[in-house]
Structure formats: C-alpha cells, structure tokens
C-alpha cells in the first residue's frame, strides 16, 4: 500500500512540474491530447502563454513573408526591365518598330474590337504604349462591321482621334439601324482624309456621298456596293483629283465624271451602248469592267453606233458580248467574258467576240470565257493564236472541253484555269477534263505538233466542293500528271469576306 501511494505521488509531482524546454512541452501536449495525463490548472497557464507567443511569432513571420514577396516582385521587375533593355527589339529604332506594328495590325477584323488589332499593343509596356498612342499611321486602317451599339460611336471617335491627320484606309459595312447611320456619318465626316474606301451600304446611306464633293483630295481608290441596283449621284467624284480606281457597280456609266484625269481602273453598269462614249475619252484607263443591266425601257442595242477606240486599254471584262460592238481596243492583252445568260443559238455569243478581236487587231494573251463557248472556239482560231492563259467559267452548264484537245485550238496555251461556282456541279460532271490536260501536257506530242506544252492547271472551286472534285480528278489520273511535273493550283472563285479594296480587275 505504501508502494502505490508513493507512485501516484510521483506522477502527480511530474504533472505539476513546468516543462523546461520546447521539446518537453511538445511531449506534455501530446500526452494531454492522448489522455495519458490530465490537463491541470498549472498546464493552462503555460499553454496560454505559448499560444500568445506563437501567435505573435506567426504575425511577425507574415510581415516578413509580405516583405519578402514585395522584395521578390521588385527584383523580378528590375530583372525584367534589364532583360528588356538587352532584348533585340529594344535596339531597333522607333520607326522600325512602327513598321513592324503596321504589318501586324494592317488588316484588323474589326477596328471597334478593343481586344484585337492595334489596341492591345499599347498594353505591353510603356514604350509600346507611347509608340501606339503617338503614331497616327497605326490607326489609319479602319475596318467597320456591324452590329453597332451605342458604344461604337465612342470607340470610333477615339480611333479617329488617334489617327489624327493620317490618310485613311476605310472599309465600312452598314445597315438601316440608327447606330449604323451614326457610324456611316462619322466616316463621311472624315472624307478629307480618305485614301482608299470600301463602302457596302443601303441607298439611304449612299445618298450622303453627295456631301463629300470638293472634300476628297487624297482619295485614290473607291469601292461602292449596294444590296440592290441603285442610282446615286456621283457628282462628288468630279472633284477627286487623285482618283485612280473606282469600282461602282451600282453606277451607270453615263454618270461617270468626265474629268477623271488619273483614272486607270473602272467598273460600272451600262444601260445603252451609246453610253460607252462617256468612258472612251479617258485616255488613262487600262482596265475596265462593264456590267450590263437589262433595261426594258432602253434596250442595249443602239442601231448603227460606230465603235469607239480605246487605244490604251489592256484589260477588258464584260457581262454581255453585245457591248463589244461599240469598242475597238488595239492594245488589249486580256479579255474576260462571264455572261449573265447563255445563248445557244448558233454563234450568237461568239460572233461579237470574233468581230471585236478582228476589228481591234489585238494580240490577247489571256482569254476568259464560259464553258459553252469552248464548243465554238474554232471561230477564234486565227484571232486567239497567242493566248497562253485560258480561263473557263462553269456555272450550271457542263459541256465537254474536248475541242481543246485539237492542236490548232489555242496552240500557245500553257495554263488552264477552271472556275466552278455551282456547288452541285460535281454531281453532274461528265468527265474528260483530265483527258484534255493529258493531251496538252504530253511533251512529245507538243513537240511534234509544234504547240506549247500545258504546264499549269488551276481549279477555283467553292470550298465545300473543292476536295471532293479534286479527289475525282485524281481518280482520273491527276496524281500521275502531278508526278510528271504538272503544276496544280487550287483556289476559290470568290473573294474572302474580309478582303477589301480589291476590285474585279486583272491588275
């Protein structure tokens, strides 16, 4: 009994004794947590002191951690700045940087999107921000696409402010909404700085073009598109001293300003053959595209109209061969005919072209015609003997190209381009294209017959049909011809949606 009393006394004595060091404290805390010994009043006192001490120590550490993080950030910033100083791009002069930026942002998808184009460049560093904010040329390309909001005007105002007095390349598409009208009005107000402008707008907006008269001194290229055939005043263009290219499909040629002294490229609509006299005097024109608008009140035929000569014209595109009865072009190098309708009665379509080429006595190198005319191409034998590049337009027709296998048919042809716009055409394809290519590509045959060997085949087809059609041609032997050296090119018959300031001309 005396032994047990002595043991309990010793245990109690140990528990009431204060720990001497931290390791002993941890042992006692562990024993208390595991219920190996009771929590005594004496324990509470020193444990509470430890809690206060540890909290203070943690607080001090947090202050030190914050200071260390800030110190690390300062060091990283200093390191980054010094590395930037040594980077190659910072050794480039400002004007080179501006040119690099111009190349990067030369064609934004939408200038009102502040997350793309030139806008983000100013967020990289202070130097770039200074360059972007003080370089008007970086803001000189303005692409405007709907939908527009009430904020669009504010963003465009800021954009134009940054462009300062720099000449402007503008492409704008608008609808009939109020916001669209405000955006278009802002574009009109900048007409004094227009250099190249592409407009796709309803007639209500196009009518505002009359207000730019006398205020387009820098304008070199103008492209105007409307959702339907429209008539709008082009008097403003009579005071466009720098205008070189004008694509105005909605404009009657009879309304063409006569003092277009620098105009080299033009697209317009013809209602009467006699109206050709409005463009013939412009001696600077080298490339024109004439559209035909069937006007029941004024037929295209104009009796005994004598052909007018355009001596300087090198490239001509028409949509109706009757237009050719009114023209003579001795310097013509490329002719393009993509009709709105096909006549299958005898040589109705080929006769005006034959007479035109004979009268002009020109030596064309590029010939672009619809596939139906291939069957009649023998009428052009003597007049098209120097044609090196042939383009064949397929719409919904699918006649064969077999006349091209004859050596006397376009003996100088070295390039064949097929333009296919009908998405369902591949299902009606009769075959035979590769047979023609194979005949013209045969080097021995070309040498024996003294004709030029075909070296290039280009196929422009709508995207969803191209792969399937190419596969079909490969099944006919296109692969083998490519292996033997035939150059195959593929493309689209249409401009991309985001292509601007691009007319339908050859040059």
What backbone phi and psi angles, to 5 degrees, belong to 436? Answer: -65, -45
Q: Is the dihedral of CA 102, 106, 110, 115 positive or negative?
A: negative
Report the alpha-carbon distance of residue 62 to residue 350 in Å, rounded: 91
What one-character DSSP code corresponds to residue 97?
A: H
pTM: predicted TM-score of the whole model, two decimal places: 0.77
Residue 334 has a pLDDT of 96
* CA-based R_g, the chain, Å: 39
Residue 4 has a pLDDT of 45
Residue 360 has a pLDDT of 95
Report the alpha-carbon distance of residue 374 to residue 397 in Å, rounded: 12
Residue 463 lies in a domain: yes
Report CA-CA distances (Å) from 433 to 55, 171, 370, 455: 88, 40, 15, 15
Residue 60 has a pLDDT of 94
**Contacts of 170 by beta carbon, 8 Å cutoff, 6+ apart:** 142, 144, 187, 190, 194, 196, 197, 198
Q: Torsion angle of alpha carbons 9, 10, 11, 15, nearest 10°?
A: 100
Report CA-CA distances (Å) from 426 to 463, 468, 481: 12, 8, 21
Residue 98 lies in a domain: no
Report the alpha-carbon distance of residue 505 to residue 318 in Å, rounded: 11
CB-CB neighbours of 162 under 10 Å:
19
Hey, what are 11's tokens? Answer: 């245990």
Q: Which of these three, 51, 86, 121, is where a domain ends?
A: 86
Angle between helices 152-163 and 178-189 (to 10 degrees): 10
Hey, what are 496's tokens? Answer: 């991309």
Please give the full DSSP string across 406-457, using - where no structure is assigned: STTSSTT--EEEEEE--TTHHHH--S-HHHHHHHHH-HHHHHHHT-PPP-EE
Report the alpha-carbon distance of residue 285 to residue 283 in Å, rounded: 6
Residue 222 has a pLDDT of 92
The per-residue pLDDT string of the chain (507 residues; one tens digit each, 9 = 90 and over) reads 444 444 444 444 555 556 667 788 888 889 989 988 898 888 888 899 999 999 999 999 999 999 999 999 999 999 988 887 787 877 888 999 899 888 888 778 889 988 888 888 888 888 889 999 999 999 999 999 999 998 999 999 999 999 999 999 999 999 989 999 999 999 999 999 999 999 999 888 888 888 888 889 999 999 988 866 655 666 777 788 899 999 988 777 776 665 667 889 998 888 788 888 888 888 899 999 988 776 545 555 555 678 889 999 999 999 988 889 889 999 999 999 987 655 444 445 788 999 999 999 999 999 999 888 888 888 888 899 999 999 998 876 566 788 888 888 899 999 999 988 876 666 656 567 888 898 899 888 888 888 899 999 998 887 666 777 888 888 888 999 999 999 999 888 777 666 676 767 777
Residue 119 lies in a domain: no
Residue 503 lies in a domain: yes
Number of domains, the chain: 2
Report CA-CA distances (Å) from 356 to 360, 442, 506: 6, 33, 20
Can you name the residues that pair with 223 across neighbouring β-strands? 198, 247
Q: Which of these three, 86, 114, 136, is where a domain ends?
A: 86
Residue 7 has a pLDDT of 45
Residue 277 lies in a domain: no
Residue 459 lies in a domain: yes
Residue 41 lies in a domain: yes
Can you name the residues that pair with 173 across neighbouring β-strands? 200
Q: In 3D, which of 111, 123, 94, 85 has the Cα closest to residue 171?
A: 111
**Contacts of 121 by beta carbon, 8 Å cutoff, 6+ apart:** 101, 104, 105, 128, 131, 132, 138
Can you name the residues that pair with 168 across neighbouring β-strands? 194
CA 447 to chain centre: 43
Residue 293 has a pLDDT of 74
Residue 264 has a pLDDT of 92
Vertex 266: Cα angle to 260 and 268 (nearest 5): 110
Report the alpha-carbon distance of residue 152 to residue 162 in Å, rounded: 15
Domain that holds residue 431: 365-507
Can you name the residues that pair with 275 across neighbouring β-strands? none
Q: Which of these three, 58, 86, 114, is where a domain ends?
A: 86
Report the alpha-carbon distance of residue 17 to residue 1 in Å, rounded: 25
Residue 2 has a pLDDT of 44
Q: How do strand 245-252 and strand 366-370 relate by DSSP bridges?
A: unpaired
What one-character DSSP code corresponds to residue 303?
A: T
Hey, what are 37's tokens? Answer: 């010994």
Is the distance from CB of 152 to CB of 172 less than 8 angstroms?
Answer: no
- Residue entry with tokens 């190996």: 36
What one-character DSSP code corresponds to residue 138?
A: G
Report the alpha-carbon distance of residue 251 to residue 281 in Å, rounded: 18
């Amino acid at each position: 009994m005396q032994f047990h009393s002595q043991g309990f006394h010793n245990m109690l004595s140990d528990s009431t004794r204060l720990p001497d060091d931290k390791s002993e404290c941890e042992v006692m805390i562990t024993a208390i947590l595991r219920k190996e010994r009771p929590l005594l009043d004496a324990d509470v006192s020193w444990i509470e002191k430890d809690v206060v001490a540890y909290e203070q120590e943690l607080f001090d550490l947090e202050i030190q951690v914050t200071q260390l993080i800030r110190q690390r950030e300062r060091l990283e910033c200093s390191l980054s700045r010094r590395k930037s100083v040594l980077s190659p791009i910072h050794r480039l002069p400002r004007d080179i940087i501006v040119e690099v930026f111009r190349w990067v942002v030369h064609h934004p998808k939408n200038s009102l999107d502040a997350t793309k184009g030139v806008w983000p460049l100013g967020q990289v560093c202070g130097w770039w921000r200074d360059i972007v904010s003080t370089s008007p040329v970086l803001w000189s390309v303005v692409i405007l696409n709907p939908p527009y909001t009430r904020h669009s005007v504010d963003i465009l105002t800021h954009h134009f402010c940054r462009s300062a007095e720099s000449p402007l390349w503008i492409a704008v598409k608008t609808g009939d909404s109020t916001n669209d009208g405000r955006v278009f009005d802002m574009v009109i107000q900048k007409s004094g700085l227009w250099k190249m402008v592409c407009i796709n707008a309803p007639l209500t907006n196009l009518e505002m073009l009359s207000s730019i008269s006398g205020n387009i001194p820098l304008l070199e290229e103008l492209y105007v598109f409307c959702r339907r055939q429209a008539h709008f005043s082009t008097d403003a263009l009579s005071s466009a001293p720098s205008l070189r290219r004008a694509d105005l499909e909605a404009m009657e040629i009879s309304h063409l300003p006569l003092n277009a002294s620098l105009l080299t490229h033009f697209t317009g609509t013809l209602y009467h053959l006699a109206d050709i006299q409005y463009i013939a005097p412009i001696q600077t024109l080298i490339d024109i595209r004439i559209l035909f608008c069937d006007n029941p009140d004024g037929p295209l035929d104009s009796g005994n109209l004598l052909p007018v000569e355009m001596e300087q014209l090198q490239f001509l595109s028409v949509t109706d061969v009757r237009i050719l009865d009114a023209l003579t072009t001795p310097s013509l190098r490329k002719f393009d005919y993509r009709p709105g309708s096909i006549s299958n009665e005898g040589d109705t379509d080929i006769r005006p072209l034959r007479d035109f080429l004979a009268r002009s006595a020109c030596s064309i190198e590029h010939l672009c015609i619809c596939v139906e005319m291939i069957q009649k191409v023998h009428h052009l034998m003597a007049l098209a003997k120097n044609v090196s590049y042939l383009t064949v337009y397929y719409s919904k027709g699918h006649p064969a190209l077999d006349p091209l296998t004859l050596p006397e048919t376009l003996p100088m042809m070295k390039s064949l381009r097929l333009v296919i716009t009908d998405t369902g055409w591949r299902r009606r394809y009769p075959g035979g294209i590769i047979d023609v290519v194979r005949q013209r590509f045969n080097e021995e045959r070309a040498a024996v017959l003294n004709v030029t060997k075909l070296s290039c085949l280009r196929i422009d087809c709508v995207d969803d049909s191209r792969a399937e059609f190419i596969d079909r041609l490969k099944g006919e032997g296109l692969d083998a011809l490519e292996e033997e050296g035939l150059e195959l090119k593929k493309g689209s018959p249409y401009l991309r949606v985001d292509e601007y300031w691009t007319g339908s001309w050859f040059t």
